[in-house]
Amino acid sequence: MRPELLSPAGDFEKLKSAIYFGADAVYLAGKAFGMRAASGNFTNEELVQAVEYAHERGVRVYVTVNIMPRDAEYPVLERYLQYLQAIGADAAIVSDLGVVALARVCAPNLEIHISTQASTVSAATCMAWHKMGARRIVLARELSLEEIAAIRTALPDEVELETFVHGSMCVAYSGRCLLSQYYVGRDANRGACAQPCRWIYSGEIAEEKRASERLPIVEDGGESFIMSSKDMCMIAHVPELVQAGINSLKLEGRVRSAYYTAVVTNTYKMALDAYMKDPAGYHFDSAWQRELDSVSHREYDTGFFFHNPKTDPNLVTQPGYIREKAYLAVAVGSADEQGRVPFVQRNKTVRGAAVEILAPGCPGRPFMADAMWDAAGAPLETAPHPGMTFLLRPPFPVQAGDVLREG
């Protein structure tokens, strides 16, 4: 069975990027009831356009409705669920028992997926959700691969399993955290997390009855990241993910860039295609890891697929993000009679720079930007203005949607 590749779509640009680079499905949110208030998200009108755009290209759309709503929100929520059903959304991702019950009544044809926020860690819980009407369970990130495989074996085929395989991890259990609310009044459980687990902490801690025994929380260099988790990266373990029987491989990152969406989707699709084409002859291509290293990320690890969260909290050892190749531009047309391709600038590009083209199904292809022209064909030394159109002459075919990045 080939698993679905599920990509994040924080806004319309990211949705298009995910689809162009090979996603089988995307997940996104409306302006309310989703767990990522920091991403652009979609108005009701944009949701219609997103569903139509994706369905025209054979891609499914799952809408997150995974906050824990209060009583006063239910009348609006009921109308919203009915709206999602009416526009043809393929599923709603929910985490609250009351929302599941409401959806079954007011939107009976809307497929229900249970969010990872529900902390599902057993086959028994999966079956309980299924009996309530859920088609798919997004398992808790704290499960090991061995535990996931055992859950899959214990369930009937009609119960689908989805799991995150790449992206940010949370120090809180299944993302349930009160720190953001405590520090700055932003409720992480309603999509407004300020990410205090990523902040730098210093000083000492002491237990109440042992006040004289003060323990430093400062690491070498004077900084301590006592709660910041490493990013998950399972690209080297695609065969094991498929063999575990997971129905959907989920990529985290709705608040990341369109470039991030393109690279991560493209890379996992390459690995998945290679394995499904020839499982016996499959080998891991180190170029795939280099692709994932080209996007902004924290230190990579395999999450809890092979680690026990009770004994290994998977915390970072260095601050912030590791930033690699810059996203320079996106192709917006095909080559003219002189082989020049139009690009729209995202970051400053200069003549003579070493650059790469990222296209669906292959790693970045390098070339030298030895000549540049403006939209009218006049020579350029640099393209400094965001949104400006300029021309380059790559030594290979380029299509609209391909990404230009640093070499």
Rounded Cα distance between 357 and 118, Å, is 40
Q: Where are the beta strands (DSSP E) in 177-282?
A: 204-205, 215-216, 231-233, 248-251
Secondary structure element (H or E) that encloses residue 82, with its range: helix 74-87
E strand intervals along 19-126: 25-29, 60-65, 91-94, 112-114
Q: Which residues contact 146 (CB under 8 A, 6 or more apart)?
A: none
In the structure encoding, which two tokens stand for residue 251, read together?
């990529």
| DSSP 8-state class, residue 2 | P
Q: Which helix (H) or strand (E) holds 16?
A: helix 12-20
Q: In what order do the strands lie in the sheet with 365-368?
A: 365-368, 354-358, 403-406, 327-331, 341-345, 389-392, 372-374, 379-380
Tens of pLDDT, residue by residue, the chain (407 residues):
899 999 999 999 999 999 999 999 999 999 878 655 555 689 999 999 999 999 999 999 999 998 889 999 999 999 999 999 999 999 999 999 999 999 999 999 999 999 998 999 999 999 999 999 999 999 999 899 999 999 999 999 999 999 999 998 766 655 556 566 656 667 666 566 766 666 666 566 665 666 676 655 555 454 555 566 788 999 999 999 999 999 999 999 988 899 999 999 999 999 999 999 999 999 999 999 999 999 988 888 998 899 776 666 666 666 667 777 889 999 999 999 999 999 999 999 999 999 999 999 999 999 999 999 999 999 999 999 999 999 999 999 999 999 999 98
Residues 228-261, buried b or exposed e (16+ Cβ, 10 A)?
Answer: bbbbbbbbebbbbbbebbbbbbbbbbbbbbbbbb
Tell me which H or E stretch contains 86: helix 74-87
- The CA-atom distances, in angstroms, between 285 and each of 139, 236, 270, 294, 307 are 28, 9, 10, 15, 24
CA nearest neighbour of 22 among 49, 4, 41, 46:
4
Length reported for the chain: 407
Whether the model clears a pTM of 0.75, i.e. scores above it, the answer is yes
Residue 219: both structure tokens together:
């690491």
CA 282, chain centre distance (Å): 25
Q: What are phi and psi of 238, to 5 degrees?
A: -60, -45
In order, the DSSP letters of 99-141 are HHHHHHHH-TTS-EEE-GGG---SHHHHHHHHHTT-SEEE--T
d(CA 329, CA 321) in angstroms, rounded, equals: 22
257: its two tokens: 């860039």
CA distances from 367 to 50, 125, 393, 394 (A): 34, 52, 10, 7
| Two tokens, residue 210 | 């042992």
The closest alpha carbon to 327, from 310, 306, 344, 309, belongs to: 344
Cα(274)–Cα(284) distance, rounded to whole angstroms? Answer: 9
